[in-house]
Amino acid sequence: AIDSRDNPHIAFYGNMSLNYASWDGLKWQFETIEAGRQQAPDRSWNMTGAWISLKLDVNDNPHISYWCPPSYWSGGQVKYASNEGSGWAIENVGSVVRDDGYIYTSLALDSRGIPHIVYRGDLGLMYAVRDGFGWNLQTVDYSLKPAYCMRAPSIAIDRNDQPHISYIDDCRFSTLKYAFLN
């Protein structure tokens, strides 16, 4: 993401952790947002911070959605991290029980800075928006087949703060789909 001063910001997975880098005009600043274990109990590699989406708000504060499993093959949490000047705050958005290691996330911020996240959940494509009480979850597209059929979601928010989502449904012959809230 590029901030209002044209400086780049990058969220990335490395060393089994979610990391963040930003250019301050002179040098790169690096932070580990959430550290993962070196190796999961089932001997698979930890993927804390995989399937990342980064956005900057109007004040250039970073907001990140990502996946945090206890091991590569064992579900875990879709999470949201934000830093509005006083350090990183991390929230659980939704649980994922069954997966194949590909829990795609996509994040958008509306005009009030409210985060909207779309991700592949257990029952299909899930949409999450933070309200005053936590995260409100809705199923966008339900799949009777394994949820891993839904992939590559992307979310955008229109000028009326309504979500628009595109994704691929591999259960239906790799169909490109578009969903919106009406």
The residue type found at 125 is L
Task: Look at residue 123 and tell me whether its pLDDT is greater than 80.
Answer: no
Residue whose C-alpha is closest to residue 123's, from 101, 145, 154: 145
DSSP string, 97-146: -S-SS---EEEEE-TT--EEEEEEETTEEEEEEEETTEEEEEEEEE-SS-
Rounded (to 5) percent helix, strand, coil in the chain: 5, 55, 40
Give residue for tokens 């790169």: 28
- pLDDT, one tens digit per residue, over 133-179 is 899 999 998 865 655 678 889 999 999 999 999 999 887 678 899 99
Q: Give the mean model confidence (pLDDT) for residues 107-127.
A: 93
Is residue 157 within 8 A of residue 146, CB to CB? The reply is no
Which residues make Cβ contacts (< 8 Å) with residue 16, sequence separation at least 6?
A: 35, 36, 37, 38, 45, 46, 47, 48, 49
- How far, in Å, CA of 58 to CA of 87, rounded? 17
| pLDDT value for 39 | 64
Report the percent of the chain where pLDDT is more than 90.
60
pLDDT average, residue stretch 108-117? 97
